[in-house]
Amino acid sequence: MSVRGAEVSHWFAQLFGDEGEVPRRPALAGSREADVCIVGAGYTGLWTAYYLRRLAPELDVVVLEAEAAGFGASGRNGGAVIAQMNGSRDYWRRRGGADGALALERALQATVDEIGAVTASEGIDCDFAKNGVTICARTELELGRLRESVATDHRAGFGDADARILDREETLARIRVAGALGARFSPHCASMHPGKLVRGLAEAAERAGATIYEGTRVTAVEPHLARTARADVRARFVVRATEAYSESVEGYQRRIVPVHTSMLATAAIDDALWAEIGWEGREALLAEHPFLHLQHTADRRITIGGDDNRVPYHWGSRVDALGPAPQRVAAMYHGELLRLFPALREVPIEHTWQGVFGAPRAWAPGVGVDRVTGLAWAGGYVGEGVAPSNLAARVLCDVLLERDTDLARLPLVQTTEGRRWEPEPLRTVGAGVVWSMRSFGDELERRRNKPSRTLELGNRLAGYGGHLG
């Protein structure tokens, strides 16, 4: 089945045209053997292939992709390479102690520069610009939380060079968000073009010596074996990097559930409007109530996405994320964009699209290798995977190769994948209840400017404990 660029995302439409088909590499034609077989050609799978071949060029590394490289979240995200990972500091301290959690956070910060260095050395022109991230507060409740987050960072061993509070004047000097009271700024973030990064990374992995087969759907993963409809790949290690598409792999149902989201992109904005908005630094912009992430793209647009007020889970973990965003959701995002920047009321929305990310039951990512079965895994980023996927891939490579490194000792490493999600119909009913509670609680906070116990309970029921970074 051919897919048009515009059906995937704005980023793919720019690469291949609205009506242009996304090209595919040849499919796996016959059974073969390899040292490492990676299932999934998103960021995790491609970074893993790239680093494995760089570290151990003697290895035969094969990547199997059901569609085309970057078809999933890697080609649809908001483009923020942010030093942030799902799972609270308390969660990561329970896994690795205070020192392990601190080392993980520092490794995340260094990952932003690592991605920038690889894109430069490999000539991947993905508009990479490390200009930081601004989290804007529009209520006293939001500002208080940002102040507390910076204070918590300082208690954990970080300083103003890692994160600091901007007052109202400093915030508006950076980005003139309507109603801004202040902001948190961190330099540990870059903005980039996700489509250019993932497609360029696939080429870099091939230059390093990996082989990528596209249009090759893996139906089952077994010890030392990846099965497809046409042929099998037998390997010493089989790495599952399937994220939101894990449900389609036999034996891995309920490991990671797909969560749907949407994004939109404006038309290019003229210089006069940019002068009115500010935001010349191109840092990533986050806002709350609802959670929103925005990018000032290199070609002078704004993209926006984040939480919405629909239930983003489909029965049976079905993935349905091709084509434009649902009209109601697109209208909601557009309304939020105008709340942030009323001056954009005459700027048309040029493109909307859908996305999907993977959420494990622990609501935090992990990496693991079973040396007896040869089964390995990495993922579960819960929508925060651009930087963590690079770090997870490097951790996985060191564990696979039995390298005694600081990365291999990070608390990302698991001995088991943890518990599965509940079976149907509990999963669908629970998702509806939890998401409704979170949406209603978020709206209560927005209107009352007071913490919502409904939101807190919804987060607790979901297993969401915040994020690191």
**pLDDT tens profile 44-86:** 999 999 999 999 999 999 999 999 999 999 999 999 999 999 9
pLDDT at position 310, please? 64
In the structure, how many helices (H) and strands (E) does the chain have?
A: 12, 21
pLDDT at position 435, please? 81
pLDDT at position 406, please? 98
Query: Which structure tokens are listed for 274?
Result: 């940019």
**Contact predicate 374/393, CB 8 Å:** no
What gap in Å lies between CA 135 and CA 284, rounded to an integer? 8
Task: Calculate the CA dihedral of residues 176, 178, 180, 184 and round it to 10 degrees.
Answer: -50
Work out the burial of residue 121: count CB atoms within 10 Å of its CB; fewer than 13 is exposed, 13-18 middle, 19 or more buried.
exposed
pLDDT at position 216, please? 98
In three-state secondary structure terms, 189 is strand
DSSP 21-50: BPP-PPPP-S-EEEEEEEE--SHHHHHHHH
Query: Which structure tokens are listed for 423?
Result: 């079976």
What gap in Å lies between CA 247 and CA 250, rounded to an integer? 7
pLDDT at position 386, please? 98
- 280 vs 69, 178, 286, 293, 350, CA distance in Å? 32, 16, 16, 17, 21
What gap in Å lies between CA 239 and CA 50, rounded to an integer? 14
List, for residues 397-422, the tens digit of each pLDDT value. 999 999 999 999 999 999 998 889 89
What gap in Å lies between CA 266 and CA 300, rounded to an integer? 9
Where does 289-442 show beta strands of DSSP type E? 292-296, 302-306, 349-360, 366-370, 375-379, 413-414
**Contact predicate 235/210, CB 8 Å:** no
- 432 vs 47, 210, 463, CA distance in Å? 34, 42, 15
What gap in Å lies between CA 8 and CA 40, rounded to an integer? 16
Cβ neighbours around 203 below 10 Å, total: 15
What gap in Å lies between CA 98 and CA 100, rounded to an integer? 5
pLDDT-flagged residues of the chain (< 50): none
Alpha helices in 129-266 (DSSP H): 140-155, 168-174, 194-207
Count, residues in the chain: 469
**Contact predicate 226/218, CB 8 Å:** yes
List Cβ neighbours of 175 (8 Å cut-off, separation of 6 or more). 134, 136, 277, 278, 279, 281, 283, 285
